[in-house]
Structure 1
Amino acid sequence: MAGLAGPASVIRDDRGVPQIYADNATDLFRVQGYVNAQDRFFEMDVRRHVTAGRLSELVGSNDDALTADKLVRTLGWREVATKEYEQASESTRSYLEAYAAGVNTYIKGRSKSELSVSYSVLERKNKLGDIEPWTPVDSLAWLKAMAWDLRSNYDEELNRASAINVVRNADRIAQLFPEYPYDEHATIIDGQAAAGNQTGSGTKGNAGGNNGNAGGSKADGGTEGDAKTGTGTDANTSDSTSTEDASASLVPTATKTTQTTKTSTTAENVADVYSSQAAQDALTSANKALQSLPDVVGSSSEGNGSNSWVVAGDLTETGLPLLANDPHLGVSMPGVWSQVGLHCNTVSADCPFDVSGYSFAGLPGVVIGHNARISWGLTNLAPDVTDFFLEKVTGDTYQQDGKTLQLTTRDETIKVAGGDPVTIKVRSTKHGPLVSDVLSDVAEAGKTSPVPGEKVLRSTSYGVALNWSALTPGTAMDAILELDVAEDFPSFRRAVTKLDAPAQNVIYADVDGNIGYQAPGRIPVRGTGDTQNQKVPADGTWPQIGWDSRYDWTGYVKKRDLPWVENPQSGYIIAANQAVTGPDGTAQITSDWDYGYRSERIKDLLDKAHAEHPITVDDMREIQNDTYNPIAEMLVPMLLEQKTDDFTQSAVDLLKDWDFTQPTDSAAAAYFNTVWAKLLDLTFSDELPEGFKPDGGDRWFEVVRELMKQPRDEWWDDGRTDDVVETRDEVLRRAMTSARLELTQRLGKDPSKWRWGKLHRVTLEQTPLGGDDVPDLVSKLFNKGPYEAPGGSSIVNAFSWDASGDFSVTAAPSMRMIVDLSNLDNSRWVNQTGVSGHPWDKHYDDQVSAWLKGEDFAWPFTADAVKAAKDEEQTFKPEGS
């Protein structure tokens, strides 16, 4: 290999997982690039086309691909990645360059068909361009895709705004976005005091999130404070208070005055802003554009969560910590993660890497895993880092504070395989790019109907700008590479706080017995809005008013104020997307948390296991595969109280002795989940707009749990029935009967023969060769499944599905790992598919069966263990040696 300074080797086990050894760090990453290209170059190439807005160059003329390209060009992912490369540390740039050189060594001289049979399939439709050399920016652009798919609550923001046009009552919409149940479900940091204060034996932490700071960022010339002490100069120096809660300005819900009244009074302040045709058209255009991107990491809908937890040695069999992680992302072929080990033959300051875990093909380093001293896991923190701003746009100008401002513009040309290029004009306000411009019909949207009190300006329409903190160049790549070589909790925190996007919950354990947690992220501080005449909440839960600067962002939360904890009294830390701290400490992060059903179940199972014996690796695995459905515990007793006909009752009887778990062979799970989908449809679909339907996840668990206490709430009434006003029990009975009829048609008349796995199935598809329009021969070659799947939405074993669609899996555990800090070679791992992206390779899908069954494999780490597990070895020498 040209460019190598010394010899290197790659040892693969019987699943093809590469463990890479070299004498220096640049050689290590050069070989990692070569190996990733060898295993998955087509996947890497698809990713860089997506992240550069060039998917049409691969797939040809396709409306969805073109819209996706327009959106990515509008957001400017590639430009942000270029700036991130320019400002990265010297070592990070050198590692990115070495990685790119390794990729290019592999692809040089190989035809497209030699690199992947996928190219051959695509070229049957259109002639493709030459394979381009890999660059460091290609790697960094993937971090924008990660941040995009884990961006948090923009769906909730748009859903609130679209629903007000139909529901016309802000308090009723608020019922669909309930507050986090702090009295029911524990937070990640439970009751921690100010930074560094002792709250119990050995416990240090910071509840965080209370203080904001105005002004730029590190990229604007500031220096970041030390993660441990909070000393140093933050680039954003002036504090501001947390965002004012504007919910008090909303008009209360009117009660239903008669049994035939189907509407409630208008919430004037909110409805008048969002229900105008101008606003609705612009928001619809923006939403359709944003949904156009392929789910390159995972869907932003239900299921895009994760589980992680760490247990201190006082509670374990070995006396040292155990750490578990399973991120829930979209399913694909191959899976999103690539397993790898990176080992310097002699660990030193010049070659500090001895790390193993999960990375992304196309990215140097290890994203999740462990080194010789520490281990870490990631789950989505889901901070509110995006805001939509309604903008008054006229031509190439827009309004703010009574002034006319000029849009910034640039032209982008999109090449289309087999077709003519498409040129678009990207327009931006101070709040960000106008994503509503992506769809061609937006120019005609909303030229009338301004907000109340303003003249009709027929030359003015609304645009929707997206303010997203990840569009400011960040330091995520520095964070990943520094995390790979961290040795203790302070160095771990210094690395993690550079992970500005995507912001993650990061749990920690080390070989000295310490456990911990750190929340990173560039999290905006919002203005207070118009406190005298608050038209809409200014807290980021609804699209903001762009023409009033009081709604603008004022800065970012300081790194030293982000929540963290070390060695809590409880002896464990659970981070499963629930609230981080109590309501006072987390106001700056988001208002739209996961509601804590998975985290609470994990807590209960840890407590139960520890009550019986010291916690083991087997206990951690059993928890990862738990299929208990938390909403069933509340809902089933009420279903059993209903009186039904004999035909329906034969299905209801399945629930009498059900333990609420959902293995693939469960008849009760098949019936309950069908009832659940019917219940949501009957209760909400009559009023909610297209694009905002109940997906059945944890938020809907909480919505229904609260509604069950109000049997005559207006939501129970089905607006599709003119002569009947339904109550809770009537809706329950109709859902039970309808579910019985559907399953009779789909699975047969005998309920005892029903199986959850016959409905709930997962199909693994390769982008862009999946989907219904692909020929059967191609589909059978590249795509795998459908397979029966256990679990369900907001269940620990989270094979999620969308209750507004069908029972097909939309997201799932993308991998699972359990790290034993007493003996790293005793750790376990499993991937969703296999390490290879070549459909004829034996490692293309050789982990699928174990993944579905909840099994895992040995994870050798030390040199002796890796050699003992060796199946084959590649050796590399400097060119000419």
Structure 2
Amino acid sequence: MKWVRAILATLLTLALVYALNRTFGIVPALGPFLSPYEGFWRSGSDDDFTSEELTLAGLKAPVQVRFDSLRVPHIFAQNDHDLYFAQGYLTAKDRLWQMEFMTHAAAGRLSELIGEQTLEMDRYQRRIGMVASARKSLEKMQADPQSKAVMDAYTAGVNAYIDQLSPRDYPFEYKLLHYAPEPWTTLKIALLLKMLAQDMTGYSDDLRMTNTLRKYGPAVVKDLFPNYPFREEPIVPAGTPTNFTPLPIPPSPAEFMAGMASHTLERQKPENLGSNNWAITGARTANGYPLLASDPHLNLSLPSIWHVVQLHAPGINTYGVIIPGAPGVGIGFNERIAWGMTNVGADVLDWYEIRFKDQKRQEYWHDNQWKPVRRVVEKINVKGGETLLDTVLYTHHGPVAYLPNEEPLRSGNTPTGHALRWTAHDTQNELKTLILVNRAANYQDFRKALTTWAAPAFNFVFADARNIAIVSNGLFPLKWQEQGKFLLDGSNPAHDWHGWIPMDQVPQVLNPQRGFVSSANQTPVSPKDYPYYLGSSFAGYERSARINQRLAAMTQATPDSFRLMQMDNYSFVPRNVLPTMLKLLDQPALSEKQQKVYQTLASWNYQFDADKIPPSLFEEWWQRLAHAIWVDDFPQDKFKAPTRDRLVQMILAEPNARWYDDVTTPQKETLPQLVNRTFKQIADSLGTEGDQLKWGTAKNSNIRHMAQLPGFGEKLFSGGSANSINALNGSHGPSWRMVVQMGPQVQAWGVYPGGQSGNPGSRFYDNLLNDWQSGKLHQLLFLRSAADRPATTSVQWTLKQH
């Protein structure tokens, strides 16, 4: 018996040791994770952040780094190599895990870290050609000596930090997922830029639009899905003349609308989730110099998606934010200019139906001949599992994401048997743009820098001491009208892209008469004023209308004027449609509870403030009404519903439209019936009282950990809506609020939801979150030279060459 107990105890000990040193999905290997010597305890707070002198191999000269009270590094180097080496080192110290996680996600390598749970995500990233296109872009960037030198220096700096780490010093997430950092490479920088392109342009409505065309025909599609909305305030003011001779527009094939096949579906572009930026001329400001605001809206996460830095070396002194893992400054300012970006949203991703010769799929039909298929084998390593070899088929259009016999990543949301044509596959040198913009001294320098920016296309807002401008810049395919609005024929060369819109002919305006420029992802330019087709699926006009309304009224604008604008919660959506909806109610037939809801909405000022109840009532009513009108005709799993702009127009001007009738019921429904029924539903179920009805609670906004780790995010109680300037909706919202005052001495203010550190134990992990929620901006400390020693930079590091 004694031996039996001994054997059982030994087996139990062995099992426990095995379990403690093995990961189970996202659950860490608890042995190493809980170790007092190397576990997560070592990833504690950094409250003892003090001045240091470090010796690093790879530097050419000493580098001075001053940290301000927000722990932003101000890097003073004597040459470009050391400048970007130091930026790489310091960014890795703050955000190494984030950098590696994002590039693994972009490359389709998450399964190496997490396991088979992310296998299909990895397969999808490989299938759409993310790594292949990143390699092509890397070749383009490295062919430019300046870009290559910057990438090499930055990469060396990151690796200098990685090389000095021991397992006990790994960031918290490495210990949680039980893996070690790998060496940084220049390919990872290219992958980050591709990830940005995917986030901004990796969507398409082609399949749903094709299904709609097949079911209802061209007349209904033209009526319900117009290429230009009923209400719009384009980025380039209407009537602005062009000063170029356009290229010939490719002819539209006669059979374009015919022969559309039924297909599975792809991801639908989210409506009204985007960004804002604007600038106002000095004639409208209090100090006589232009003001600029940049307000990019992205998925909010912890660690923050931005890292803040000042870079100073001979020929450069710039301040701003950048995605951790990329060198330079992406959005920011220097001593002469300021700039910001919003997503254009042009149609730069199309799907081509491929006709293979046979089941071997070695050839496909195009231009009346069989052409060879290129096969690329992707090797996907799976943590705790077998390595997967996945073959991706490439045509001249691009990769075939899924074959007809395969199950897509999101069942019913990704096309099968189609090749992907996407500007992210085309090579330019976006890094070169950032390098030159960071050093630009005037508008001419700025425009020259943009000529190497391809994807994603951005609305670049600009200001210097005398000028304001906005340029919708990127690589835009030269298309015939509506090309890419529906699925395209991969065998017909007339359906191929036919070149590019010249960079000097993209939508742009310099110093417009109205005294301001702005963008909010709306249509870049009216078709009446522009010869080229850019697409038909841009954000609604509401945010841009509110921005322009406020800017037009400014005569003595200050930085605080812009700060208050960025927190504006007003929405044109209820202003436009709610009075009509209320008029359609049969008010005498309403119960006492319903009357209270009616009065609450009737007295609303259309502000989506966090502590107000009317926004919750309106949003619920509007969503139920839209669903009641469209769900029978355009079920979401098969069709794209018409836009909000089209529905508002229909409610206001088309009381007898056929779409109000629910075709699944024997009776004929009318607009008043639907309005009254949906109103009573929300009034009876919601009422007008209770903290749960306050908009800040009801909208359920939050900021999550980037890897969705529970316990490392926060609930948000904030105002705003998808259609307000303060466009906080769900986990999507203002990721970096910046205001820059031009003049002899540039001044700037900013805030973002998070902090500089990626360590959850650091006080700089989320120290700015409350200020961001309340709308407070911090003055951004912009040092002119290494001799500047303000009291707020008491921590100083000296990086010395080995």
Q: TM-score by structure 1 length? A: 0.79
Determine the structure 1 residue equivalent to 2:96: 41
Alignment counterpart, residue 352 of structure 1, candidates 315, 321, 324: 315
CA positional deviation for 1:713: 1.4
1:42-96 Cα distance to aligned partner (Å, 9 max, x none)? 100001111221111111111xx21221122223322322332332220111111
1:362-410 Cα distance to aligned partner (Å, 9 max, x none)? 0000001101100111111122111111112233122224422221111
User: What are the within-5 Å matches in structure 2 for residues 166-177 of structure 1?
Assistant: 167-177=215-225
Determine the structure 1 residue equivalent to 2:210: 161
Q: Are positions 1:826 and 2:765 aligned together?
A: no
Determine the structure 2 residue equivalent to 1:787: 716
Q: Secondary structure at the match of 1:325?
A: strand
Contact in 2 for aligned 1:508/1:515 (Cα 8 Å): yes
Q: Secondary structure at the match of 1:516?
A: strand
CA positional deviation for 1:695: 9.2
1:749-803 Cα distance to aligned partner (Å, 9 max, x none)? 6379831112113222223234xxxxxxxx22x22x2111211112111013xxx
CA positional deviation for 1:471: 0.3
2:706 corresponds to which letter in structure 1? Answer: T
Q: Are positions 1:404 and 2:370 aligned together?
A: yes
User: What are the within-5 Å matches in structure 2 for residues 566-585 of structure 1?
Assistant: 566-584=510-528, 585=530
Determine the structure 2 residue equivalent to 1:599: 544
Counterparts of 1:502 and 1:82 in 2: how far apart (Å)?
17
CA positional deviation for 1:113: 5.2
CA positional deviation for 1:601: 0.9
Q: Are positions 1:193 and 2:241 aligned together?
A: yes
Q: Are positions 1:757 and 2:696 aligned together?
A: yes
CA positional deviation for 1:639: 2.6
Determine the structure 2 residue equivalent to 1:841: 762
1:839 corresponds to which letter in structure 2? Answer: P
1:816-857 Cα distance to aligned partner (Å, 9 max, x none)? 000000265632100121111110110111111111122211
Q: Secondary structure at the match of 2:113?
A: helix
Counterparts of 1:740 and 1:693 in 2: how far apart (Å)?
30
Determine the structure 2 residue equivalent to 1:240: 248
Alignment counterpart, residue 323 of structure 1, candidates 292, 306, 317: 292
Determine the structure 2 residue equivalent to 1:16: 71
CA positional deviation for 1:570: 1.3
Contact in 2 for aligned 1:524/1:557 (Cα 8 Å): yes
How many pairs were matched up?
A: 733
Contact in 2 for aligned 1:307/1:326 (Cα 8 Å): yes
User: What are the within-5 Å matches in structure 2 for residues 862-877 of structure 1?
Assistant: 862-863=783-784, 867-868=789-790, 870-877=792-799
Contact in 1 for aligned 2:209/2:639 (Cα 8 Å): no
Alignment counterpart, residue 378 of structure 1, candidates 341, 346, 359: 341
CA positional deviation for 1:134: 0.5
Q: Are positions 1:727 and 2:714 aligned together?
A: no
User: What are the within-5 Å matches in structure 2 for residues 618-767 of structure 1?
Assistant: 618-641=560-583, 642-643=585-586, 644-646=589-591, 647-691=593-637, 699-720=643-664, 722-744=665-687, 750=689, 754-767=693-706
Determine the structure 1 residue equivalent to 2:437: 483
User: What are the within-5 Å matches in structure 2 for residues 609-620 of structure 1?
Assistant: 609-610=554-555, 614-620=556-562
CA positional deviation for 1:111: 3.6
1:174-212 Cα distance to aligned partner (Å, 9 max, x none)? 4443343476534424322233xxxxxxxxxx6xxx83x
Point out the more displaced range, 134-143 or 858-867.
Answer: 858-867
Classify 1:156/1:794 alpha carbon distance in 2 versus 1 (closer, same or farther; 3 Å).
farther
Alignment counterpart, residue 125 of structure 2, candidates 72, 80, 89: 72
CA positional deviation for 1:618: 1.4
Q: Secondary structure at the match of 1:240?
A: coil
Q: TM-score by structure 2 length? A: 0.86
2:81 corresponds to which letter in structure 1? Answer: T
Contact in 1 for aligned 2:208/2:639 (Cα 8 Å): no
Determine the structure 2 residue equivalent to 1:500: 454
Counterparts of 2:272 and 2:580 in 1: how far apart (Å)?
26
Point out the more displaced range, 433-442 or 658-667.
Answer: 433-442
Q: Are positions 1:519 and 2:519 aligned together?
A: no
Counterparts of 2:743 and 2:542 in 1: how far apart (Å)?
30
Determine the structure 2 residue equivalent to 1:228: none
2:670 corresponds to which letter in structure 1? Answer: T
2:375 corresponds to which letter in structure 1? Answer: T
Contact in 2 for aligned 1:332/1:764 (Cα 8 Å): yes
Counterparts of 2:608 and 2:446 in 1: how far apart (Å)?
38
Determine the structure 1 residue equivalent to 2:277: 308
Classify 1:113/1:47 alpha carbon distance in 2 versus 1 (closer, same or farther; 3 Å).
farther
Counterparts of 2:403 and 2:773 in 1: how far apart (Å)?
42
Q: Secondary structure at the match of 1:426?
A: strand
Determine the structure 2 residue equivalent to 1:452: none
1:274-312 Cα distance to aligned partner (Å, 9 max, x none)? 33xxxx1xx33xx2xx69xxxxxxxx5234311111101
Contact in 1 for aligned 2:559/2:739 (Cα 8 Å): yes
Alignment counterpart, residue 774 of structure 2, candidates 843, 853, 863: 853
Percent sequence identity is 29
Name stretches of at least 5 consecutive residues in structure 1 with no aligned partner. 196-205, 212-238, 251-268, 292-299, 345-350, 447-460, 529-536, 771-778, 801-808
Classify 1:550/1:372 alpha carbon distance in 2 versus 1 (closer, same or farther; 3 Å).
same
CA positional deviation for 1:508: 0.8
Counterparts of 2:274 and 2:639 in 1: how far apart (Å)?
19
Q: Secondary structure at the match of 2:667?
A: coil
1:550-606 Cα distance to aligned partner (Å, 9 max, x none)? 111111111222222222211111122222222140633222222322111111111
2:285 corresponds to which letter in structure 1? Answer: T
Determine the structure 2 residue equivalent to 1:531: none
Counterparts of 1:695 and 1:162 in 2: how far apart (Å)?
11
Classify 1:70/1:498 alpha carbon distance in 2 versus 1 (closer, same or farther; 3 Å).
same
1:407-454 Cα distance to aligned partner (Å, 9 max, x none)? 1111111000111111111002221100124983379x99xxxxxxxx
Counterparts of 1:113 and 1:678 in 2: how far apart (Å)?
53
Contact in 2 for aligned 1:684/1:693 (Cα 8 Å): no
Classify 1:798/1:76 alpha carbon distance in 2 versus 1 (closer, same or farther; 3 Å).
same
Name stretches of at least 5 consecutive residues in structure 2 with no aligned partner. 1-55
Counterparts of 1:337 and 1:405 in 2: how far apart (Å)?
44
Counterparts of 1:627 and 1:500 in 2: how far apart (Å)?
33
Q: Secondary structure at the match of 1:829?
A: strand
Contact in 2 for aligned 1:820/1:826 (Cα 8 Å): yes
1:796 corresponds to which letter in structure 2? Answer: I
Q: Secondary structure at the match of 2:486?
A: coil
Counterparts of 1:633 and 1:818 in 2: how far apart (Å)?
28
CA positional deviation for 1:478: 0.7
CA positional deviation for 1:2: 0.9
Counterparts of 1:545 and 1:406 in 2: how far apart (Å)?
17
Counterparts of 2:230 and 2:644 in 1: how far apart (Å)?
17
